[in-house]
Chain A
Amino acid sequence: DAMVIQNPRYQVTQFGKPVTLSCSQTLNHNVMYWYQQKSSQAPKLLFHYYDKDFNNEADTPDNFQSRRPNTSFCFLDIRSPGLGDAAMYLCATSRGPGDTDTQYFGPGTRLTVL
């Protein structure tokens, strides 16, 4: 089945230790997204890519960076995780950037910062 895959599902890191989360897709979609979702809150968009053209949201902290080396993969780098970065990180894809497109979400990576 075509899908969005996130690895790992659970990630534990130490305060200030860089961490990378990965996402891959077999849907051949042009757009990929990274969201941060804290407990009992709605997902918050961090980045999105149309192909390799990249856009980060205005309020995405500088501590977060993203890479999309090819159509299938996208990475989220957290350079110096703080306790406030503990959250579920969701990757999503859509065929295009249109208003009516459906976003398909991966299962998420739950990040714990010790």
Chain B
Amino acid sequence: AQTVTQSQPEMSVQEAETVTLSCTYDTSENNYYLFWYKQPPSRQMILVIRQEAYKQQNATENRFSVNFQKAAKSFSLKISDSQLGDTAMYFCAFMWGDSGGGADGLTFGKGTHLIIQP
């Protein structure tokens, strides 16, 4: 089974700074997708960004971007110009592709609690 590791249980930065959250995963397959989800105190799970493993280009969504290093099995999230509303738990997640051979569903890391200080 694949595993997803987030090595930073908690991070704290000042508003407007840039912060990078780390994620590594373990798989021997080539067909998969990676995601970052945000969970604010409201408990909602909100999709931040999605990466297709077969695409070399790193995904970007406004202030959020990823550094996808397929050979190193690394998928970090960079948040630029951080805002107070970015305070949340952030989860990295792995999903098999359609022919990936694994079960459907997401495999999550344990999360990083990001605190943006005013």
Q: State yes or no: do A and B come from one complex.
A: no
A residues at B contact (CB < 8 Å): none
B residues at A contact (CB < 8 Å): none
